[in-house]
Every structure is written in C-alpha cells, then in structure tokens.
Chain A
Amino acid sequence: MASIRLDQVRDAGFLHEVEEESGQNISTCYQCGNCTAGCPGAGFYDRQVSQIMRAVQLGLKDEALRNRSLWLCLSCSTCTARCPNNIDVARVMETLRHMARREGLVQDRPIESFWKSFLDTVKLTGRSFEIGVMADYMMRTGRGWGNMDMAPAALLKGKLPFLPSCIRGRDEVARIFKRYAETKKEGQQ
C-alpha cells in the first residue's frame, strides 16, 4: 500500500460532512473489524468496509469515495447488525456512494446502469417490470447476455410477462422523478 502524507491529503471537514449526511457518529469506530468480517461482499471489494470507515475518520476523502466497494455493497446491513458501537455502517456506505456519485466518481458502470434501468422502468410504468429492466440494461451497457440462460425457464413458467402493468397513477410517479431531477440540478448550481 502506498504511503499517505496526512498533512497534504487530509480533508478536515470530510468526517463532519459524512457524519452529518448519514446521521452516524463515525468517530466511535475503533476498528474492531466486525463489519469486514461479516461482509458478504468482502471477497469482491477493492477496499474493505473497515478501511473505508478509517479513511472517513482520517478525512481521506479520495480514499473513501474512489472505490468499487461502494457499488458492490449489497445493502444487507450485516455490518450494521454487528457494529459494537451501534453505527449504521450500511447507511455510511450508502451515504458515501451518494457523495461519490455527486463528485462524478461512479466506479462501477454496469451496477449503476442496472439501478438506472430499474428506475427508468418505474418512471415509465409506475412499477418495475423484468423484461423492461433487462432490455433497458442491455441497451445501456451492451451487457447482460449471461442472464439469458434463465429466460427460457422463466418464460416457460409464465414468470416474465411481455407487457408491463401500467398503473393509472404512472404520470404521478413520473412527476416524482421529474421533481427529483430538478432538485438535483438546483443542487449542482
């Protein structure tokens, strides 16, 4: 691991920002490592949860935000359940992902694309819809062919309706997304 000059790279306000946005008292983390020990995604991460927690404490903003783990986190909350200091660690991971996205640091395009495809379908029809999500995802990424091996079984079992169940209030749902996009734009200005 590269050496870090704390006097040069520390962002003094970062810990406070993360604590504020996540509502968690991150200073109480004493690096017991329970979060990492129980994390089902740990084997796929490029930074472990406990390392990310330490980076936040030290104000190492780039270290905390520029990693793929924030996207690979499964939101299972095992870390939260096992933290001896009652930190909602999963909430911290989620907050960091939101912050990283705002800084333009999306580290895993396919995962981010899946989330967007899912939400696009909800925006369009008011509900999620499997074939719609997959089609949108494959158009966005050119990926997803590996999922096709499930399609015959799922189709045969009548588990993949071809048409979405569009709800009457879908415009109302679309307006939620529209207002959300507007608030995001305002936030950037």
Chain B
Amino acid sequence: MKLAYYPGCSGHGTSKEYESSTRAVCRALGLEFAEIEDWSCCGSTPAHAMDTVLSGALAARNFKQIALTGAEGVVTPCPSCLANLKLARHRMQDAAFKARVDALLDSPTVENAEALPETYSVLQIILEQIGPEAIRARVTRPLEGVKIATYYGCLMSRPADVMQFDDPENPTAMDKIMEALGAEVVDFPLKTECCGAAMGVARQDVTGSLSGRILATARSFGADAVVTACPLCHMNLDLRQGQAERQMRLKFRLPVFYYTQLMGLAFGLPDETLKLDKLAVDPAPFLQLVARRRKARIDAAAEAARAAMEKAESEEGAAS
C-alpha cells in the first residue's frame, strides 16, 4: 500500500528533532513516504473542543491533499494529528456527519466514505512493517545498561475502537523497540496517564502537576531517561520540566527523548539528523552513561579474551 506523509505543524517548530529523526530512521529502515503537498493543520485539540464538524473539515481538507499524492493511506508521527485524522474518517462513515463536513469545504470529499484514506502512526508502521527483529539487526551501537521509561500519552491507542493499535491501557510498541535497541525497559505504571496536554498555556498548574507526577514516577522506577512519541507530551516533559520541578518542589533532570532519536542513536545515524542539541534537558549524562557501560563491556570482553589466551598459552607450554 502506498502511504503519504503528514508531518504535522509542530514538526516545523517545537518538535523539529522529532521530524528530523523520524525521517532519518524511516530512511534507514527503507520506509518511503510521499510528503503531502500543501497540507494544513488538522485542528488538533482546539478544533474538536470547539466543534466536531469543524474538526472534521480541517482534517478532510488534508484527505483531499492526500488523494493528490495517489496514496491510499497516510502516516504521521504526531498522535494528535493521528487521532484527528482517524476520528474524522471514522465519523464521516455516517452520511449525515459527512454531509455537514463536506458543506464546509470548497468541494466535497469522495462520495464513498470508505475510500477516505486510513491514517497510521509512524510507530505502528515501524512496528508492523519492520518489526523488532529487523530493528535489532540494524543496531550498531546498542543502548546497553540503561533503563528507559516508555511514555505513550493518551492518544496513541485511545479510543481503542477507532485507533485499532496496541493496548489502550498497557501499550508495548515502544517497549519492544527499546528492547530491540538493547535498553532495559522499566515496568512504568503511568504509560498512558495524561501529561496535561494543551493545558500548559492557560493552566500551568495542571500540566506542572500531571507531568511532574510522570517524571517523579519514572525517576522512582530507576529510569535513566523517558521516551515519548508525542510532540505535546515532549514539550510538557522536556521544555516544561523546570515548571514541573517548581510545582513539585523536586529536581528531576531527566532527559526525555523521542523514540526515533534513540533508534537513530543505536543505528549510528549522523548527529545532525537526530538533533539531540534541541532537547531542553541535557542528554549528555545519559549518553556518557551508555558510553561507560559500553566501554565496561568491551573491556570485560577483552580481559576475558586475554585471560583465555594466556590460559591456552600456558597449557600449550605445559604440554610441550
């Protein structure tokens, strides 16, 4: 099936590193998508908070742009775009709803609602079309000896009947990928607890306390880093981590990566595609930890090899 690519607005601003690392990882895995010409905003939370028909129409303009690429489906890295596009298609199966959406557009969408494009997350495509074994085979620099808390947020698999991917309460897609990269995944209980979403602008106390709880719990489970697949979750956990620290009166200093950045790191992809320098919380201590663990393993292996050689030599000497 030919798939189009919908980057989402935040890829041009606050989640540049997600956009860049997603493209790099997909390229490395041989996944090719045609970018949609002149795509527009899906409306995100504010549109459906206002009106579901308006939200549907903002999504549906993109359905028409997708059709221009000749693709049957579309992939997006952003869970909010994913949810809006999926929900719009789902609701437009109802003829009355579709008619109200079509009335807001310059020209109506395709007559047969079933022919509207299906939307998938990049995460789903990586997991289902590539899979953990092929990812493991691609790893050149395993994330050895580090513990990762996988944080999925609300939208990736909810509501379950529409999203049709992973478990709505205990998703494991990123767990499988992180394990394939060589990391240890902690048994994180707040995988799908809300980070405060788009409430940060109007109510920092809400995002501060909800994100703070996620970060504090990740720390208490011994995580060295958190990974996420969502630009908004990432902003709340990384860029707003200082606000969460002040709200909770705790220090976290917990690096928060996009899962694609860690994939790229383990694949040995160039720094300029991973853009780790865009992260607000300094990832250097984490990267040094991985390097120390790797060096310790290599040193131990070299030591074992030397000991084995010496043993063999001394046995040879004794025999002759």
Give chain B interface residues in 154-203, CB to chain A under 8 Å.
154-155, 158-160, 168-169, 192-194, 196-203
Asked if B242 contacts A78 (CB within 8 A), the reply is no
Q: Could you tell me if A118 and B44 are in contact, using CB atoms closer than 8 angstroms? A: yes
* Segment at the interface with B among A10-18, A25-33, A49-57, A153-161: A153-161
The minimal Cβ–Cβ distance linking B89 to chain A, given in whole angstroms, is 16
Chain A interface SS verdict (over half): helix
Which residue in B40, B106, B199, B243 is a CB contact (below 8 Å) of A72? B199
Which of B50, B58, B194, B204 touches A78 (beta carbons < 8 Å)? B194
Residues of A within 8 A of B57 (CB): 176, 180
Known: A157-B278, A176-B104. A81 touches B168 (CB 8 A): yes
Chain B positions 34-89 with a Cβ under 8 Å from a chain A Cβ: 38-41, 43-54, 57-58, 61, 65
Complex Cα–Cα for A157 and B52 (A): 35
Interface residues on A, range: 35 or more
Q: Does A126 contact B (CB under 8 A)?
A: yes
**Segment of A1-9, A58-66, A162-170 in the binding face:** A162-170
User: Nearest B residue to A130 by beta-carbon distance?
Assistant: B13
| Chain A residues near B154 (CB-CB < 8 A) | 74-78
User: Contact at B201–A165, with CB atoms within 8 Å?
Assistant: no
B40 neighbours in A (Cβ, 8 Å): 122, 126-127, 167, 169-170, 172-173
Q: Once the chains are docked, how many angstroms separate the CA of A169 from the CA of B49?
A: 24
11 A/B residue pairs, CB under 8 Å, sorted by A: A43-B209, A74-B154, A76-B197, A81-B158, A90-B159, A94-B48, A114-B198, A115-B50, A127-B40, A175-B106, A180-B57
Interface residues, chain A, CB within 8 Å of chain B? 40-41, 43-44, 72, 74-78, 80-81, 88, 90, 94, 97-98, 101, 108, 110-111, 113-116, 118-119, 122, 126-130, 133-134, 137, 143-144, 146-147, 149-150, 153-154, 157-161, 165, 167-170, 172-173, 175-177, 179-180, 183
Q: A153-B239, A159-B13, A173-B58 are in contact. List 20 more A-B contacts (CB 8 A).
A: A72-B199, A75-B49, A78-B154, A80-B159, A81-B168, A98-B50, A98-B52, A110-B202, A115-B46, A115-B49, A127-B41, A130-B13, A137-B202, A144-B201, A153-B280, A160-B14, A165-B12, A167-B38, A176-B57, A180-B53
